[in-house]
Amino acid sequence: MIVLLIGGSSRFMDSMIDKMNKSGHQVYLFTGRKDKRASYKRVFERYNFAYDTDSIEDIFKSIQPELTIFMGAYDTNFDWNMARQESVRYSTALTNLLSAYSITGKGRFVYISSHEVYSSVHGASVTETMPTESRGLKALTIAHGEELCNSYRTTQGMDTLILRFDHIYGIPKKGERLEDSCFKMCLEGLKTGKISANSRNSFSMIYLKDAVEFAYKAIVDTKSAHACYHISSMEEINETQLAELIQKHMDEKIELVDNSVGEKHRLLLNGRRYQDEYPTRIFVSYDEGVKKVVQYMKRYRETFLRDEDAGAGRLGKLWHNIRVIIKKLIPFAENLICFIPFFMLNNRAVGSRYFGRLDFYLLYVLLFAIVHGQQQALLSAVLAVAGYCFRQMYERTGFEVLLDYNTYVWIAQLFILGMVVGYMRDQLRYIKDEHEERVGYLHGKLGDIEDINDSNIRMKQSFEMQIMNQKDSLGKVYEITSRLDAYAPEEVLFYAAEMLAKLMESKGVAIYTVANGDYARLFSATSKEARRLGNSIKYTAMENMYNELKERRVYINKTLEDQMPLMASAVYEGEEMQLILMLWGLPWQRMTLAEANRLTVIGALIQNTVLRANRYLDALKEQRYVAGTNVLGEEAFTHLATAFFEARDKGLTECTLLAVAGVNEHNRQEAAGVLSGQMRQTDYLGIVQGNLYVLLSNTDRQGAKSVMERFQAKGYRSELKEEAA
């Protein structure tokens, strides 16, 4: 396969080149810049052109690549310290590349993106379907690049693929400055002997070589099912844990500084879509990967540290001071050395027909005034005067030279020109330095203003949401009471989950019914994520949640434990817990006391409706059940089964219907007693057209097979039914 890689020199680029070569592909490289300093191994052909060159189209037509990979978020050609200028250049570069690629109409275009397109705090792992929420010019520009690729894919039918990488870390090049947390903490430890960490900031990282291996599988698969994948280890780690790993492998006295302040920030890309399509595993664990980075940076620490850094040691500081002194002495040495050839030229020019009127000393003084400024101009003028007087003393005495007014006129001219030119040069340098300092200061202030603005926007959105919720809260109360009351008693709990999801603005809601003192059984759920705890849970073992629920308080998952709901509330009847309401997929900003109170109110309204439905069913118990048995009559069972199947079709539950053979009204009571012992409390027996049926709640076909085997062991054969008929 012919592969065109586009981007600047980096470890990421080197790893991609190495992987493509090992896999037998022919690699071409478009560097994106005109300089030829960077070296690359095993590249078939390299094109040192800028992104705005008119030759891009010719390059694509010449190569006819089957696979084009743009490094995008990890392209070192862009300096994001000047984000405003670079954002325009980045978008222009990508547009030029996509335009040239579209002309060839061949192969796949891969855009390398990063986790930065998600700047908000997320309680759960971020999936590919979630819209990007970018803050900052760099993140906005990268996200805009994704939109460009998707636009070319939908409008022109091009095969574009977006790969979002989650916090890549790896061994840097000597002296290279990286942006990942692992590198920054290692550098801070080497510089200062301390590492600052905030345990409230958590994320997942992936080692560079693992990231490239993962990416390669999706890149070369031209039949991939999706246009976007997350490349992530999905292993959560916070800054404190990362700092402890670095401290462990540093083999030096490193102090950890706890900076755990502010809101909790959690950002993990969910790579489940990729894993489902390309099953693979992480080869380099956090411990092993961090160890490699730390050992490399320790071995070549002098390339990462400045001599004035505390981590450079006494010898480093001494060498730094010596270098500073030498650097300051260099202009003086240059002045003395350059004086010799000018002295010789001046001696040769005296009496010359062509060069006799040329003043080499004046040129000498002006040269150093222009290059080094007023200080060196003064020194060069002194040396020039000494050289002039020495040359005049070849023919006259020193006393005669001192009495000659031409000598003083020449000296005055020399010093005046040298001092004026040197002063102008110093002023221009001062103005330039002041301008650069002011620009840097303003860029820093702009960054602070952007951060403050982002914070204000989040607060504004939060307040707007509270106002909106307050404004229509009465409408929502009416919606709950009216809609739930409209459902049949058998349907209330199913649609209570759907209603709760809508009112709490969460796609993941689960309702568990308490079966006994320790266990709860899943009754209905609105998403796959909400089912992650399984059909049966021992809720008393979930200590943090249980302690809150038994005190009739709302549980809030403040530590964002992956296997716990983000919020939960319990519904009581008297002193007995009847239901547990669980919420998943909430953003961190909404896990507040206001939302907890909101859930409490909604739970109370659901409780009233559920209790009213239960009491209604209890009142009709004699009419609903066959006398002397726990078997539902035909009408009651048909209504119940219909409710379950309709809820299943809407994705609110799982259920299976079994028909039991060989049971009639003579042995029905005996069969019901035997079969009840093989069922759960949440399953139902009923009669349809004289036959005995079993409704298994929250059970799919696979789970029903074990129940059928238990029935068979007791002498009752059963079969699956799609509906009660």
Q: What tens digit of pLDDT does each residue of 381-409 get?
A: 888 888 877 777 777 776 777 777 777 78
Residues 6+ apart with CB under 8 A from 465: 590
Q: Are residues 55 and 91 in the same domain?
A: yes
Q: How many Å apart are CA 204 and CA 241, to the nearest integer?
A: 12
Q: Is the pLDDT of residue 472 over 50?
A: no
pLDDT given at position 123 = 59
Q: Is the pLDDT of residue 32 over 90?
A: no
Which stretch of DSSP H or E encloses residue 364? helix 360-372
pLDDT given at position 262 = 64
Q: Are residues 9 and 137 in the same domain?
A: yes
Q: How confident is the model at residue 478 (pLDDT cuts 50, 70, 90)?
A: low
Token pair belonging to 492: 């209330």
Its domain, for residue 503, covers 473-619
Report the share of the chain in percent with pLDDT over 90. Answer: 11
Helices (DSSP H) in 404-472: which residue ranges?
405-471
Q: How confident is the model at residue 471 (pLDDT cuts 50, 70, 90)?
A: very low
| In-domain check, residue 267 | no
Kind of pairing, strands 206-207 and 108-114? unpaired
What confidence tens digit (pLDDT) does each residue in 639-690 have?
Answer: 778 877 877 777 777 788 888 887 777 777 788 888 887 787 767 888 887 7
Q: Average the pLDDT over 283-288 and give the result.
A: 90
Task: Identify the DSSP state of 391.
Answer: H
Backbone angles phi, psi at 707, to 5 degrees: -65, -40
Helices (DSSP H) in 42-82: which residue ranges?
56-63
Most confident option among 231-240, 258-267, 429-438, 446-455? 231-240
Q: Are residues 705 and 669 in the same domain?
A: yes
Domains contained in the chain, number: 4
Q: Is the pLDDT of residue 436 over 60?
A: yes
Q: Are residues 612 and 659 in the same domain?
A: no
| In-domain check, residue 297 | no
Q: Are residues 11 and 103 in the same domain?
A: yes
Q: Are residues 8 and 147 in the same domain?
A: yes
Of 165, 190, 212, the residue at which a domain comes to its end is 165
pLDDT given at position 369 = 86
Average pLDDT, the chain: 80
Q: Are residues 415 and 534 in the same domain?
A: no
| In-domain check, residue 347 | yes
| In-domain check, residue 41 | yes
Rounded to 5°, angle at Cα 59 from 55 and 64: 150
Q: Are residues 597 and 539 in the same domain?
A: yes
Inter-CA distances, 487 with 90, 578, 612, 644, Å: 56, 20, 12, 13
pTM: 0.52
pLDDT given at position 575 = 79
| In-domain check, residue 326 | yes
Q: How many Å apart are CA 117 and CA 92, to the nearest integer?
A: 19
Q: Average the pLDDT over 88-113 and give the result.
A: 89
Q: Both ends of the chain: CA-CA distance in Å? A: 59
Q: How confident is the model at residue 488 (pLDDT cuts 50, 70, 90)?
A: low
Inter-CA distances, 375 with 331, 334, 378, 412, Å: 10, 13, 5, 17
Q: How confident is the model at residue 468 (pLDDT cuts 50, 70, 90)?
A: low
pLDDT given at position 451 = 58
Residues 6+ apart with CB under 8 A from 612: 485
Q: Is the pLDDT of residue 224 over 70?
A: yes
Contact 111, 147 (CB under 8 A): no
pLDDT given at position 482 = 57
Q: Are residues 50 and 91 in the same domain?
A: yes
Q: How confident is the model at residue 320 (pLDDT cuts 50, 70, 90)?
A: low
Lowest mean pLDDT among 37-51, 77-91, 132-146, 225-239: 37-51
Count of Cβ atoms closer than 10 Å to residue 236 Cβ: 17
